[in-house]
Structure 1
Amino acid sequence: MRLIDYVPGNAEVGGAPVRIYNIGNNRPEGLLLVVAVLEKAMRRAATKEMLPTQPGDVLATYADIDDLMRDVDFRPQTSIEDGIAKFVAWYRDHYEA
């Protein structure tokens, strides 16, 4: 909601009147935790095949929310557990799955 009417300051000096924000968790979550949370939300066990790190695997990733905090003073607070549970519920309802 805070971004709906926000116009980036650089628009006043000839910059683009838009900005892309990375909105997400600003700390990495372990893959096995994410799988466990998905299993719980979907009420079924995943088939896991534990392999060594593969070429192209990313060891850690997370959202950089510095711009979001600076521009509109917003820090996402949704936990991975709540976010995945809500997404799975939305998906099931939307696709009648």
Structure 2
Amino acid sequence: MERDFTYVDDLVTAILRLVDCVPTAGQPVAACDSLSPAGPFRIVNIGNAQPVQLLDFIAEIERACGREAVRNYMPMQPGEVLKTWADTALLQALTGYRPSTGIETGVAAFVTWYRAHYGV
């Protein structure tokens, strides 16, 4: 299975850039624009757009923590999909920004923050 993980700093950067991208009703910025025909609203995907194997994600957590995870493999759950990722074309069209923090960097930084924040 694969998922698109986005580091929190990339998320915050994208949101701060979107603050200045106020939509105008009836004026889409690109073919991929989700601009509502009823009002000045749109939905913008924020993601890294780089699907990562879940087992690779777990391996990064193990590496950053310095220990192996206790794994409990389960069958696919109803409604689960094999692969998901964000389409960031609209984010790029609006802001010129694309999140890019890699999984290794993001997980290591999160574990460092977590340990400092919770004193573990």
TM range (shorter): 0.7 to 0.9
User: What amino acid does structure 2 have at the position aligned with 1:43?
Assistant: G
User: What amino acid does structure 2 have at the position aligned with 1:87?
Assistant: F
Alignment of 1:8-19 (within 5 A): 8-10=23-25, 15-16=39-40, 19=42
Q: Where does the alignment leave 5 or more consecutive residues of structure 1 unmatched?
A: none
1:33 to 56, 65, 72: 56
**What's the C-alpha RMSD, in Å, of the aligned pairs?**
2.5
2:114 to 71, 91, 94: 91
**CA pair 89-71 structure 1, distance change in 2 beyond 3 A:** same
Give aligned-pair identity as a percent.
46
Q: Where does the alignment leave 5 or more consecutive residues of structure 2 unmatched?
A: 1-15, 28-36
Q: Please state how far the C-alpha of 1:5 moved relative to its aligned partner.
A: 2.9
Q: Distance in 2 between matches of 1:85 and 1:4?
A: 29
Q: Distance in 2 between matches of 1:80 and 1:95?
A: 22
What TM-score, normalized to structure 1?
A: 0.76
